[in-house]
Structure 1
Amino acid sequence: MGKRWLFRLTAMVVLPLVVVAGTELGLRLTGAGFDPHFFRRYQSGPPETWVENPAFGRRYFPRVLARAPQALRVTLPKPAGTIRIFILGESAALGDPRPRYGAGRYLEVLLQERFPTTRFEVINTAMTAINSHAIRDIATELGRFEGDLWIVYMGNNEMVGPFGAATVFGPKAPPRWLVRMTLGLQRLRLAQVLKDWADAARQRPGRPLVWEGMAMFLDNVLAADEPRRERVRRSFAANLEDILQAADRAGAQVVLSTVAVNLKDCPPFHASAPAFADPAQQQKFAALMEQGTAALQQGRWAEANDRFREALQLAPQAAGVHYGLARALLAMGQVEQARIHFQKACDLDGLPFRTDGPMNALIRAAAQRRPSHVVLCDAAEALARLSPDGVPGREFFYEHVHLNFDGNYQLARLWAETLLPLLPGSVRASAAADWPTQERCEQLLGLTDWNRRSVVAEMIDRIQRPPFDRQWDQLAQLADLRQALATIEARLATTPPEQARQVYEAALKRRPDDPALHENYAEFLEAIGDGAAAVAHRQRVCQLLPHHYFSHYCLGTLLKEQRRLPEAQRALETAAQLHPDVADVHVELGAVLAAQKEWEPARRALERARRLDPTDARAALFLGAVLAQLGRPADAMAALREAVRLNPDLVDARERLAEQLAQTGQWRAAAEQLQEVVRRAPDRWRARLNLAIAWSQLGNLPGALEQVDTVLAQDPKNGLALELKARLTNRSP
């Protein structure tokens, strides 16, 4: 009897384990799930080559939102005589919006120029949107890679990143033990598959889950006294301790940096008026804020100070009040008091996208606890001292946390000066007299006004989107960026392109195998219209980074523009194979296949793009055009209507839709679409002629002739317009 029960008990325990193990093995054999590690072996060597794993982010984000590391390569063993430095952090540490000019890149040339007899290798493992939970896991993998120094610069995404208190990526601020258990289980393929199913089930109907940047968080406002804030800080402190222990085990010394943020020129992202039980108090608060803001805008600093202080008595936790008061105090020259209130405005922000004061205090405390192998770089304080007003702002930042060229150089200088005592004595003995200037660093990085222009233009576009479009001084931020762009444009107008070409070629002569330099040069060559030379440098990037999808994607899109379609197809197919979950790759591949009249493969590529990103209007447009070629007019019309809905300004979609409507005799609906086309794009003469045909079909000959005459006024020799006018004139009564 006892043996029977023992058998049953054993079966109850063992059988589920056997089932789970068998399922796990089957999933691995069929390729289900993903590799959860940050690094993956690319070449066995010797030397071994390890590269980034594009699937790493899937443990922390839903699959369709997963971020990927930038391209990197690490060799083992480390080359002799090399000092290897790892950077850990988020998008600010990465160098967003252009990692090619981030602080890590400046750091590498600073060190190389100051110590010319030593080889420095700076490897940036930072990633967009991650936080300390993911960075801790990256740190645990770094032990094998022979890093001499680690630089840790993290904190901006703690509240909004994975497992944060205001996250959109999953549970909000769960206990750290639950986070660690969840992430540990997701090393199993079975858990990964279940997570993908759960993420898909959580998607709200009618609202596709796609990457929308900071706009995704607008509904996740966090109250100033929300207890989950403190839980996130406790998790951050514990994760930071684990990272420092990992560095200790790896034998690496650490530069632990506080995180600098834009305090002066970044109003709180959420600073709406608090709710008062007493309507009279609500009205009084609103009036005080209106009066204080008006006084601030009109330069009446003392009055603004008084009104904001009165408002502060009513709502001491209101971030907007602290920010307004800080602006008034700064204008009155009371810098220290202003700094206190700028910091409070950041700390109380209802949309916490910035490292706050308590988080930086935890970083300082962690450094003090480990003086033997951790050195503090107080970047937050140092950049404040370097700022003209004593408070960091627009002089170093594009927006809330991302550094401009000056800011990245200054942060790199701070890191370099902090790690200087950590270098071997023999290296320090070979030092040049001083650090290279910012201008010299930018020459070595192949950074010219041609590259600066694209970065500033991108930031102008970003500032016009949520949540920046809701900030108090968005117009001032835009004006500053537009002035910077105008200054760059003016310099470009008076500087021959040959001068920039010399900068790129000189930089490449020193570092011919630097993919970022080839990317910079290619960007310049594309801008001046030298497509053939640009292709050569894009191809070189692919040779240097054959494992990374983005280099092949850039090459493919450039070849597409030059109508080198078979080559473009091969490059884009490689990109799709390397990273199958990027919608843009499939959009471009579909367009290239369609241009070669390969309609069915084009349809498959574009439908894959639509599944990956249902909000991409271009994918819907191209799919509609392909479906029309495949003889599926109803499906084509549905796709084109969706393209118009997604982007009403996409006139190509309206023209294609009008064409489909006309083919089915729906002339009035076609005319409506074409009217919108010519209203939004008055120079599109083909749309005007098609509108003329639609009007003629509807019996509106005067309207039709008006459209034709408009075309002829711009191009009197337009053959199609002349032919159509002759036909319409013959029909006139």
Structure 2
Amino acid sequence: MALPLLSMLLLECGLRLFHYGYDLDLFIEYPPDKNYLFLNPDASKRYFIDQKNATTGNVEPFRKEKAPGTRRIFVLGESTTIGYPYFHNGSFHRWLQYRLAHTFPDQHFEIINIALTAVNSYTVLGFAREVVDFQPDAVLIYTGHNEYYGAMGVGSTEKLGGSPALVNGILRLRALKTLQLATDLYHKALGSVTSGKAENDGTRMQRMVAEQQIPYQSELYQRGLEQFKANIGKVLDIFTEHNVPVFISNLVSNERDLKPFVSFSENNTRYPEDYEGNALSNYNLGMQEFALAHANASRKYFSKARDLDGLRFRAPGEFNTILSQLAADHANTHLVDMQGVFEAHSPGGIIGNELILEHVHPNLEGYALMSNAFYEELKKAKFIRPEPTREISLAMLKRDMPIPIIDSLAGAYKVANLKRSWPFNAALAQDSVKTETFEERVAFDLAYRRISWENAMDQAYSSYIESKSYLEAREIVEALILEKPFDNALYSKSAMLSGQLGDERRALFSFQKAFGIAPSFETARYLFVLFLKMDEPEKAIPYLDYAIQNNASGFNLTPMRALVQEVVALRARLPADSSDVSVLNRIASTYYRMDNRDGALRYARKVLRLNARNEAALQLLSVLGQPQ
């Protein structure tokens, strides 16, 4: 009886010895720097039977050893969570990353998005089991729309069975090399049998769908609900057990501007008496009520049309009920009301194409709102405590967020291509595509994978620098910073471009980030000069001290430090009497002696506002070549 088990054990050891198959660990070492980890490109293969459907996620390295003071946040979910169709800086977690970095410049946040396309709650659960070993301070989750057709979903071609317990048990065993070998042999045998037959080479979306008709409240429909509830319940159990706060969002989808994909009893075109079970009839009634500005009635019909849609690419409303119940039942779990946020920003409170591109994926405005919803919930839970004077508002975020036009256009091209394929070709109007400008041509190549994202950014940066479009060039650099937040050279490049644009505050922020990653004499010099120009001598001193200790210039900076200390002492006297002209003149004179012309001019003008005939201030203005 032991012989088969011993044979299996020997086979497993042999396969491991010769490195057969895939390493399915969630994180692996980052090749450029062994001190970092990143999402294993093979991690998703555990969840896909047909490996050609397996997907890869972001490359967002994080330290093996979490640095003191670092706040580490993991993001779990599916295609919306990873930011389809923009990816990179279009995703809500990058909006959040940018906002946290600028609201808390002295703190460090690691936001690691491990979402994947074409997966569902099975993958979220599997990843959650491993994430707890990597010191998360919080976890953000947005998942649910792929529950029926994502990997291991009850209506998917990629499924192992109907019981969540059975499927999760098999998924754990798939790390065994023996099972990987058996799977490979099965697919090779299947390939030889089906060779010569037409293979379904449609989109991944089409290949993943086994059941195109899943009626409302049918057995398969109910199994999808049970699968979602069981898996997400276990996810929250895991994080509760490890005392990790979870911010889980309910779901949003396009209800007003997307007709149902599959409507049963469609022969009844004139609203049959049994319209209760007809998705298209409910949708048409919703359109009528919406046209009459009957918000409550239209919302009821649109929601019912979504739930009755037999092709389940949009999660039914019951999923949001499940999420609310699970969040309420788990300590340290916070529900993010994304549905309420999107409805509040939609005409008549009905979510449509103002925020959603096709069926479930937000546009850039939608992703900004998603990030804001998570941000506000983090504030509500006191996970973050921003100072009102330093906080980046949503309006400021939308103004400053570095999303190059190439990314925006590439997203539009991807969606236009998606709408031309099943199942959207009959459900959504098709968009026109233009490729006339430089950005349009690069974006088109990016959307159709003719070039990499990094290559697209390089082309754009070179073009903008050549044309002296420094604002656009800085946007490219800041987009790259969000992709590679540990690259100090990118921060330095952004700071230099900010200097070209006369944006000294942004230059200061970027130089500080660069110095925090890799301190250097040159960066310290830029920092203390900028702080002095901005009349913040106290903040200049640490960088001046570093420059003195690591002096690579040969200049004697010690006298300057004495002058800076003199300014600090003089400024300390001002709160008692801000109209003391003699103190103001001395500060102006000291700034001039250290060649800080901006500081000298600022204080000379303060004096003249108090005494327009002050001789010392007038003389300093003359020396500075400024009109009196």
Please state which band the TM-score falls in when normalised by the shorter chain.
0.5 to 0.7
Change (3 A) 1:56 1:212: same
Matches within 5 A, 1:220-259: 220-259=212-251
Taking structure 1 as the reference length, the TM-score comes to 0.58
Alpha-carbon distance, 1:226 to partner: 2.2
Task: Give the aligned residue type for 2:406.
Answer: W
CA contact (8 A) 1:354 1:400 kept: yes
From 343, 354, 360, give the equivalent of 1:395.
354
Change (3 A) 1:226 1:500: farther
| Deviation per residue, 1:292-350 (Å, 9 max, x gap) | xxxxxxxxxxxxxxxx3xx2x23422211111111111111111111111111111211
Change (3 A) 1:184 1:510: closer
| Deviation per residue, 1:583-638 (Å, 9 max, x gap) | xxxxxxxxxxxxxxxxxxxxxxxxxxxxxxxxxxxxxxxxxxxxxxxxxxxxxxxx
Q: Which residue of 2 aligns with 1:505?
A: 474
Q: Which residue of 2 aligns with 1:410?
A: 369
In structure 1, C-alpha distance between the alignment counterparts of 2:275 and 2:37, rounded to whole Å? 54
Answer yes or no: is 1:164 the counterpart of 2:120.
Answer: no
Q: Which residue of 2 aligns with 1:599?
A: none
Matches within 5 A, 1:425-464: 428=385, 430-432=387-389, 434-437=391-394, 440-441=397-398, 443-445=400-402, 447-464=403-420
| Deviation per residue, 1:1-31 (Å, 9 max, x gap) | xxxxxxxxxxx2x211110001111111222
Alpha-carbon distance, 1:485 to partner: 11
Q: Which residue of 1 aligns with 2:14?
A: 26
Q: Which residue of 2 aligns with 1:149?
A: 138
CA contact (8 A) 1:114 1:431 kept: no
Alpha-carbon distance, 1:439 to partner: 6.1
CA contact (8 A) 1:40 1:52 kept: yes
Q: Which residue of 2 aligns with 1:269?
A: 261
In structure 1, C-alpha distance between the alignment counterparts of 2:479 and 2:259, rounded to whole Å? 43
> Would you say how many aligned residue pairs link Structure 1 and Structure 2?
458
The share of aligned pairs that are identical, in percent, is 24
CA contact (8 A) 2:404 2:479 kept: no
| Deviation per residue, 1:212-240 (Å, 9 max, x gap) | 23233386322224202111211211111
Q: Which residue of 2 aligns with 1:470?
A: 426
Q: Aligned with 1:316: secondary structure?
A: helix
| Deviation per residue, 1:510-536 (Å, 9 max, x gap) | 975844999xx9xxxxxxxxxxxxxxx
CA contact (8 A) 2:69 2:108 kept: yes
Change (3 A) 1:429 1:268: closer
From 81, 97, 104, give the equivalent of 1:108.
97
CA contact (8 A) 1:85 1:151 kept: yes
CA contact (8 A) 1:89 1:125 kept: yes
Answer yes or no: is 1:36 the counterpart of 2:24.
Answer: yes
In structure 2, C-alpha distance between the alignment counterparts of 1:484 and 1:342, rounded to whole Å? 36
Q: Aligned with 2:7: secondary structure?
A: helix
Alpha-carbon distance, 1:352 to partner: 0.4
Q: Which residue of 2 aligns with 1:333?
A: 293
Change (3 A) 1:327 1:202: farther
| Deviation per residue, 1:647-678 (Å, 9 max, x gap) | xxxxxxxxxxxxxxxxxxxxxxxxxxxxxxxx
Q: Aligned with 1:135: secondary structure?
A: helix
Task: Give the aligned residue type for 2:287.
Answer: R
Q: Which residue of 2 aligns with 1:84?
A: 72
Q: Which residue of 1 aligns with 2:37?
A: 50
Q: Aligned with 2:293: secondary structure?
A: coil
Q: Which residue of 1 aligns with 2:171?
A: 183
Structure 1, unaligned runs of 5 or more? 1-11, 275-281, 289-307, 522-733
Alpha-carbon distance, 1:155 to partner: 0.1
Task: Give the aligned residue type for 2:410.
Answer: S
Alpha-carbon distance, 1:431 to partner: 4.6
From 340, 343, 349, give the equivalent of 2:303.
343
In structure 1, C-alpha distance between the alignment counterparts of 2:111 and 2:139, rounded to whole Å? 10
Q: Which residue of 1 aligns with 2:81?
A: 93
Change (3 A) 1:389 1:429: closer
| Deviation per residue, 1:136-166 (Å, 9 max, x gap) | 0101111122211111100010011122222
Task: Give the aligned residue type for 1:268.
Answer: P
Q: Aligned with 2:411: secondary structure?
A: helix
Alpha-carbon distance, 1:42 to partner: 3.8
In structure 2, C-alpha distance between the alignment counterparts of 1:71 and 1:431, rounded to whole Å? 33
Task: Give the aligned residue type for 2:360.
Answer: V
Q: Aligned with 1:337: secondary structure?
A: helix
Task: Give the aligned residue type for 1:56.
Answer: A
Alpha-carbon distance, 1:209 to partner: 5.5
In structure 1, C-alpha distance between the alignment counterparts of 2:302 and 2:259, rounded to whole Å? 9
In structure 2, C-alpha distance between the alignment counterparts of 1:103 and 1:71, rounded to whole Å? 16
CA contact (8 A) 2:60 2:484 kept: no
In structure 1, C-alpha distance between the alignment counterparts of 2:423 and 2:486, rounded to whole Å? 33
In structure 2, C-alpha distance between the alignment counterparts of 1:431 and 1:461, rounded to whole Å? 43
Structure 2, unaligned runs of 5 or more? 444-462, 491-628
Alpha-carbon distance, 1:89 to partner: 0.3
Task: Give the aligned residue type for 1:27.
Answer: L
Change (3 A) 1:49 1:57: same
From 379, 382, 398, give the equivalent of 2:338.
379
From 187, 203, 208, give the equivalent of 1:212.
203
Change (3 A) 1:231 1:506: closer
CA contact (8 A) 1:110 1:441 kept: no
Change (3 A) 1:16 1:401: same
In structure 1, C-alpha distance between the alignment counterparts of 2:485 and 2:54, rounded to whole Å? 24
Q: Aligned with 2:156: secondary structure?
A: coil
Task: Give the aligned residue type for 2:206.
Answer: A
Q: Aligned with 1:71: secondary structure?
A: coil
CA contact (8 A) 2:60 2:483 kept: no
In structure 1, C-alpha distance between the alignment counterparts of 2:105 and 2:484, rounded to whole Å? 21
CA contact (8 A) 1:133 1:239 kept: yes
Change (3 A) 1:501 1:455: farther
Q: Aligned with 1:120: secondary structure?
A: strand
In structure 2, C-alpha distance between the alignment counterparts of 1:34 and 1:146, rounded to whole Å? 25
CA contact (8 A) 2:76 2:140 kept: yes
Task: Give the aligned residue type for 2:341.
Answer: A
CA contact (8 A) 1:64 1:209 kept: no
In structure 2, C-alpha distance between the alignment counterparts of 1:499 and 1:350, rounded to whole Å? 54
CA contact (8 A) 1:165 1:228 kept: yes
CA contact (8 A) 2:86 2:408 kept: no
In structure 2, C-alpha distance between the alignment counterparts of 1:326 and 1:194, rounded to whole Å? 51
Task: Give the aligned residue type for 1:243.
Answer: V
Task: Give the aligned residue type for 1:413.
Answer: N
Taking structure 2 as the reference length, the TM-score comes to 0.67
Change (3 A) 1:357 1:79: same
